[in-house]
Amino acid sequence: MKSLKNICGYIAVPLIAFVLVIGSALFFIFGYKSPETTTPNDTGMKMVIDHDGGADDALAITMSLLYENYFKGPKVVALTTTYGNVDQSQATINSARILELCGRSDIPIYAGATQTLISGIESDFYFGYDGLGDDGYTRPEPVTVQDVHAAFGLIELSKKYEGELIIMAIGPVTNIALAIRMDPDFISRLAQLYVGGGHIYSEKHSTPEFNADMDPEAYYIVADAALVDKVTFIPFSQVYASLNITKDWRENVLGTIDTPIMKALNGYERISFNTSSGWTLLDPAVAAMVLDSTVVEEYRNSSNGMILCGDQRGINTNNLTSSEPNSRLVYSAIVANYKKLLIDIYSAELTKT
């Protein structure tokens, strides 16, 4: 996949646009069906979680579902899947597994991108080859998915819930980029798009971040189409700087909450527990900031972009003093508020019954 590393943006991005326009036109003419979605909830915000099927995604998904149930949070109306921690088919299986764990198999799953737009990196299987701890789980029956690609599902959901839909993107943003290229008004209809990925460049974070490096062209497309009042990027560099939690706290405080969901999450992380000295995961941090803004200490506006050429391919650019910013960044967060939110969410089943 690295063989195309030196393709430059001025060639790659127009090529992507041409392919997507032709493909979407053919799909609408010959194969499009409106997706089935959940019954609208007129009392609050709706949310779609676009993810790549790892244990960190499981944390973000379970946090969101528990927050909806116990704290009147946004109504989760769909999961959309992509590749990253695992391949898309495994991410789809993991989606069904996580929803069943939470008693929420009513939520539709949209299977999405199976590969990068141009080229990217391979997974490091940080959470195991199945993404959820390699515990030998075998699904007894096929996963029921919607009969349209995730990108088309995102477009239709943005129309159905115009002005009310939050998208939490916590994997490579290929599905989001496809939706943007097929529908230029997509972002403008959202309440907010949160993108977990990338870095603010520094000596410590001078190499590409995993989600961004998985599909740099997709990140470029999302940043290029971003609107400062609609798109929030949550760079891993800032999560690492602000929300670097000890492994001991994760295992011996959060991990001791006596619920089936927490016991399952502990199992999902058993591979990563053995290889890490701390506990600093992007996806649950993104979920915390989406669900409770008091976790965020400081936002900064930025002209955010992506380098597509040469040795710096996959590295983010940010101009934090730009007079024409295209997005908002989470610059710092409050670890005490994050820890409290995690405890409150995962103990709610015990304290609110």
Pairing relationship of beta strands 231-234 and 192-196 according to DSSP bridges: parallel
The whole-number pLDDT of residue 353 equals 64
Whole-angstrom distance, CA of residue 116 vs CA of residue 96: 23
Contact at 8 Å (CB) between 261 and 101?
yes
The whole-number pLDDT of residue 272 equals 94
Beta bridge partners of residue 301, listed in sequence order: 328
Burial of 258 (0-12, 13-18, 19+ CB in 10 A): exposed
Burial of 141 (0-12, 13-18, 19+ CB in 10 A): exposed
The whole-number pLDDT of residue 5 equals 42
Task: Give the residue from 236, 237, 232 showing the smallest Cα distance to 194.
Answer: 232
**What CATH number belongs to 2-351?**
3.90.245.10
- Give SS3 for 234: strand
Q: At a CB cut-off of 8 Å and minimum separation 6, what does 253 contact?
A: 343
Whole-angstrom distance, CA of residue 155 vs CA of residue 237: 30
Task: Give the residue from 109, 101, 49 showing the smallest Cα distance to 74.
Answer: 49
Each residue's pLDDT, cut to its tens digit, for the chain (353 residues) gives 334 444 454 445 455 544 454 444 434 433 444 444 333 344 489 999 999 999 999 999 999 999 999 999 999 999 999 999 999 999 999 999 999 999 999 999 999 999 999 999 999 999 999 999 999 999 989 999 999 999 999 999 999 999 999 999 999 999 999 999 999 999 999 999 999 999 999 988 999 999 999 999 999 999 999 999 999 999 999 999 999 999 999 999 999 999 999 999 999 999 999 888 899 999 999 999 999 999 999 999 999 999 999 999 999 999 999 999 999 999 999 999 999 999 999 999 999 76
The whole-number pLDDT of residue 140 equals 87
Whole-model pTM?
A: 0.89
The whole-number pLDDT of residue 33 equals 43
Whole-angstrom distance, CA of residue 156 vs CA of residue 150: 10
The whole-number pLDDT of residue 241 equals 96
Secondary structure of 48-108 in HEC code, one letter for each residue: EEEECCCHHHHHHHHHHHHHHHHHCCCEEEEEEECCCCCCHHHHHHHHHHHHHHCCCCCCC
Task: Give the residue from 320, 308, 260 showing the smallest Cα distance to 101.
Answer: 260
For residue 23, the number of C-alpha atoms closer than 13 Å in the C-beta half-sphere is 14
Contact at 8 Å (CB) between 329 and 318?
yes
